[in-house]
């Protein structure tokens, strides 16, 4: 196989799998690892892929977040798994924050049998899920209502969140990257998420595999501000390793 053809196939392989190690690529294309490293260096110079320690990834930019209704049924089964796992970390007596989102909504659905639990949320959907839970006290942040998602945001939201101290904050995101941290395409949504993170002893990000390794315009928080990432088993092992190398505990379900 000519080097040009091999490089094209490497790009195609990584686009399909989103990441790959040098060892895997060397085995896939039956060449020495040194050859793969040389190919990857040339491909990176062309701006097609991004090399990392021991491999390569596709760096995809998230420019916008689809509406709540559009996101509700996307990766639904995976979001249900993530929500159930996240809820299992909550203990009776906890004070927690649940961020707005289609994944975080599944956390609330698994908390209805808890007792002596306080949930603070900026999401009317989350609050509604817990309305009949006798052992759960729900505090809604207030703020400007976004009719398309029933999310609350803005100055009032941030003021309430900054005044809190909670044991855990469960944060949703359209983009999380092992080097660049938590990111978001919409500037107006960043301050509330930053206030949630600042208010929590433990910050747990919940995100399906389509959000992993993504970049976006606005940086919400560095990776060092996060404690745990709960995601689906669909995420490639290579991405998981990158997060773990940055000190993040990764739980896949």
pLDDT surpassing 90 at residue 178: no
Q: With contact defined as beta carbons under 8 Å apart, do 199 and 97 qualify?
A: yes
pTM attached to this predicted model: 0.79
pLDDT surpassing 80 at residue 74: no
Crossing angle of helices 33-45 and 22-29, rounded to 10°: 110
Average pLDDT of the chain to the nearest whole number: 90
- Percent of the chain residues past pLDDT 90, beyond the cut: 67
C-alpha distances (whole Å) from 15 to each of 18, 28, 30, 181 are 5, 15, 19, 21
Residue 42's pLDDT is what? Answer: 84
CA 211, 215, 218, 219 torsion: positive or negative?
A: positive
Residue 4's pLDDT is what? Answer: 76
Q: pLDDT per residue over 112-142, tens digit each? A: 999 999 999 999 999 999 999 999 999 999 9
Burial 161-191 (b: 16+ CB within 10 A, else e): beebebbbbbbbbbbbbbbbbbbbbeeebbb
Helix (H) or strand (E) holding 121: strand 117-121
If 0-12 CB within 10 Å is exposed, 13-18 middle and 19+ buried, where does residue 35 land? middle
Tell me the CATH number for domain 68-252: 3.40.50.1360
Please state the domain extents for the chain: 3-58, 68-252
Q: How far apart are CA 207 and CA 236, in angstroms?
A: 14
Topology of the domain comprising 3-58: Arc Repressor Mutant, subunit A (1.10.10)
């Amino acid at each position: 196989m000519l080097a040009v053809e091999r490089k094209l196939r490497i790009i195609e392989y990584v686009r399909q799998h989103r990441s790959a190690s040098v060892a895997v690529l060397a085995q896939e294309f039956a060449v020495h690892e040194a050859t793969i490293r040389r190919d990857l260096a040339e491909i990176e110079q062309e701006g097609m892929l991004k090399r990392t320690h021991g491999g390569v990834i596709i760096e995809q930019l998230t420019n916008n977040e689809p509406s709540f209704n559009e996101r509700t049924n996307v990766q639904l089964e995976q979001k249900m798994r993530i929500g159930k796992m996240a809820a299992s970390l909550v203990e009776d007596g906890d004070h927690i924050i649940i961020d707005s989102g289609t994944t975080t909504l599944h956390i609330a659905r698994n908390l209805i049998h808890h007792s002596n639990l306080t949930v603070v949320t900026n999401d009317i959907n989350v609050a509604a899920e817990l309305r009949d839970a006798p052992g759960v006290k729900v505090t809604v942040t207030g703020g400007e209502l976004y009719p398309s998602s029933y999310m609350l945001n803005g100055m009032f939201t941030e003021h309430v969140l900054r005044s809190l101290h909670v044991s855990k904050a469960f944060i949703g995101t359209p983009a999380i990257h092992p080097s660049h941290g938590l990111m978001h395409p919409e500037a107006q949504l960043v301050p509330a998420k930053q206030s949630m993170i600042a208010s929590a002893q433990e910050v747990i990000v919940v995100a399906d595999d389509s959000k992993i390794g993504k970049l976006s315009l606005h940086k919400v928080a560095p990776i060092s501000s996060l404690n745990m990432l709960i995601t689906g088993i669909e995420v490639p092992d290579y991405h998981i390793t990158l997060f773990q190398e940055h000190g993040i505990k990764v739980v896949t379900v």
